[in-house]
Amino acid sequence: MGLLQKAVETYDAMAHRAGVMYEEEREPLAPVFHILARAQIEIVLDQEGVFLSARAVSKDEPKIIIPVTAESAGRTSAPCAHPLCDQLGYLAPYDEKKHSLYLATLADQESSPYTRPMLHAILRYVQGGTILADLAAAGLIQLDQNGRPTDEKLMVRWVVNGLGEGYCGECWRDQALMGAFIDHTIAKQVKTAPALCMITGTMEPPAEQHPKGIVALNGNAKLISSNDSSGFTYRGRFDNASQAVTVSYIASQKAHCALRWLVANQGVSFGDRTFLCWNPQGVKVPSVHGPMGRTRGQRAADPTQYRQQLLEALSGWKERLPPGAGVVIAAFDAATTGRLAVTYYNELLASDFLDRLHDWETSCCWENGLYGIQSPSLFRIVDLAFGTLRSGKVETDSRILSQQMQRLIACRIDQALFPADIERNLVEHASNLLLYTGPKPEDTRKLRDDLLFTACAAVRKYHFDHFKEEWDMALDLGCKDRSYLFGRLLAVAEIVESSTYNKENIRETNALRMQKAFALRPMSTWRMLEERLEPYYKQLNPGLRLYYRKITEEIVDGLSPSAAELNQKLDDIYLLGYYHQRSYRKEKTESKTEG
């Protein structure tokens, strides 16, 4: 019940915002017993219920807040009317069953102590039965040969003019109307026998049905449902659904309204799964899947500067948090169209949450060209580890993407070891850079650099987690690791050949073509590369030729003399040596230019 308890806590903390439209939000927080819906037609009436005008509602206009009953909030194919705003199929008299349900529901509040003048005008107009003729005359709907609308699912919203000062004519913005419906609904629950609410721990009228639509991606999926009395939803463990769980109507409404609002404004979907991270008191917290956040435009040129920037970001977030503030992380997925599952859930103190984000970015990072030292996004790690290249872009199957994103989020939040299979996939793909091409040379270069950067960050994180090794992000001339040294050799071979190219003569280097073979059989492949490098050495000026031959000799001298060992498959560390040597070439070039 932790998720629902935190959702109720969130609603109570944000109750002052319920029903209020905010420009910066995609959706407002709906009050209890209300939902958000998209209207297609707006009808304007006077205070006596006389039709004045109508117009089509633009698709760009936001959703509206409408009152619902427990039954209508989760309606599917069975007729069940909303109390105020509804579809033409309920408002028009051609379907007697639906129409009578709507009139009865609207009249129920209109005749109660919780009525409002607006309700009388709308009820009187709908009872007149002229809605189809009025809308057809306005050119808003088309009628078939039987006088029925061709689209009976068009949602209608109401505007009632002439009610006087203090009344809001737009029904979806009228705070008093929303409050009146809430009071009316609560008053009707008095006759229901109370039961223990497992969310609040109080005795309150229980909910017989629960809302749907928490996640728009899975609109018909319910988080709480027990309507399958013949299957195995609860049978085999309980005699009836109430023995499994009882949730009060008001708590269910608060929890679902809060979750729907949070998912709409803060949730992010990867594949079929939606991830949510929030503070119940409304304090802003960083996303669980992205970088912790540094000042825009900042570039960390070296590890010291990078760590300093992360510490500043950490301190900034912590300063905004009240004492004892918490963070809730949840993931939702729908295995079927009707059932919504919580696939991941965790609660943390906000300070611990921020520390864990900081720790991840400290160890899972690498130098990323012009952008400086960065931590790759979790999405990019998954995309490059499991994606397939199509038309110059890497695309990942939605099911794989959602599963692997959850693994990495759990790894980041729960401080688990970096998954070995993800690191292995990235190394494998980065060892086949030749396969990653884009429609233009600059696209190819960007894609390969991104893959190499992400793979190196993952290798660094993997070795930090599993072996407590902390690899530097600059060239280590004293490193004698066999794989690291061979990685440097591969980079030298690539640099020597590419140094002879010009803008009219750009092609793949032999080092890149033979990279995969080099990673599997480094010594034998290096001998072939060495032979092919001779023509390119001759094209270099004497100074560069001597410089690169000297580097090559120094690297080879550091290798073990055992030929059998030298030709064994390289470890993942070779990518770090390869990246370092390539970057070192750029640094030397820049320093010579500055001099």
> Can you list the pairs that 125-134 forms with residues at least 24 positions away whose Cβ atoms lie under 8 Å?
125/43, 125/45, 125/49, 125/50, 125/51, 126/91, 126/102, 127/103, 128/49, 129/92, 129/93, 130/51, 131/43, 131/88, 131/91, 131/92, 131/156, 132/88, 132/92, 132/94, 134/43, 134/51, 134/54
How far CA 541 is from CA of 28, 550, 588, 593, in Å, comes to 68, 14, 16, 17
Cα–Cα distance for residue pair 158/451, rounded to 1 Å: 54
DSSP bridge pairs for 394: 389
| Residue 36, CA distances (Å) to 66, 264, 436 in order | 6, 11, 45
Model pLDDT, residue 296 = 59
- The amino acid at residue 538 is K
The token duo for 268 is 């992010």
Burial of 78 (0-12, 13-18, 19+ CB in 10 A): exposed
Residue type at position 33: F
The confidence score (pLDDT) of residue 22 equals: 76
Question: What are the boundaries of each domain within the chain?
Answer: 1-28+192-265, 31-189, 267-324+351-473, 476-595
Question: What is the distance between the alpha carbons of residues 3 and 224, in angstroms, rounded to a whole number?
Answer: 12
- Backbone φ and ψ of 215, nearest 5°: -110, 120
Task: For 340-363, give one letter per residue: b (16+ CB within 10 A) or e.
Answer: beebbebebebbebbebbbebbbb
Structural contact between residues 126 and 166, judged by C-beta atoms closer than 8 angstroms? no
Report pLDDT for 231. Answer: 59
Gap between the Cα atoms of 266 and 215, Å rounded: 12
What 8-state DSSP symbol labels residue 392? Answer: T
Strands (E), 318-372: 326-333, 341-349, 366-367
Cα 230 from Cα 77, distance rounded (Å): 20
Q: What is the dihedral of CA 51, 53, 54, 60, to 10 degrees?
A: -140
Tokens of 408: 């990495």
Distance CA 296, CA 285 (A): 17
Question: How are beta strands 64-67 and 34-37 bridged, if at all?
Answer: antiparallel
Query: Residue 270: how many CB atoms within 10 A of its CB?
Result: 22
80 phi-psi bin (left φ>0, alpha ψ -120 to 50, beta other): beta
Residue type, 544: L
Q: Which residues pair with 248 in a beta bridge?
A: 206
Residues 6+ apart with CB under 8 A from 87: 152, 153, 154, 155, 156
Q: What residue type is assigned to position 589 of the chain?
A: T
For residues 53 and 50, what is the distance between their CA atoms, to the nearest angstrom? 10
Asked whether the beta carbons of 512 and 561 are under 8 A apart, the reply is no
Annotate 146-199 with three-state secondary structure: CCCECCCCCEEEEEECCCCCCCCCEHHHCHHHHHHHHHHHHHHHHHCCCEECCC
> SS3 sequence, 262-302?
HHHHHCEEECCEEEEEECCCCCCCCCCCCCCCCCCCCCECC
pLDDT tens digits for the chain (595 residues)?
599 999 999 999 999 999 987 767 789 999 999 999 999 999 999 999 999 999 999 999 999 999 999 889 878 778 999 999 999 999 999 999 999 999 999 999 999 999 999 999 999 999 999 999 999 999 999 999 999 999 999 999 999 999 988 788 999 999 999 999 999 999 998 888 999 999 999 999 999 888 888 998 887 888 987 766 665 556 567 777 777 789 999 999 999 999 999 999 999 999 999 999 999 999 999 999 888 876 556 788 899 999 999 999 999 999 998 888 999 999 999 978 888 999 999 999 999 999 999 999 999 999 998 889 999 999 999 999 999 999 889 999 999 999 999 999 999 999 999 999 999 999 999 999 999 999 998 999 999 999 999 999 999 999 999 999 999 999 999 999 999 999 999 999 999 999 999 877 778 999 999 999 999 999 999 999 999 999 999 999 999 999 999 999 999 999 977 767 899 999 999 999 999 999 886 444 444 433 3
Distance between CA 315 and CA 190 in Å, rounded?
A: 50
468: left (phi over 0), alpha (psi -120 to 50) or beta: left
pLDDT in the model for residue 236: 64
**Other C-beta atoms lying within 10 Å of the C-beta of residue 502:** 6
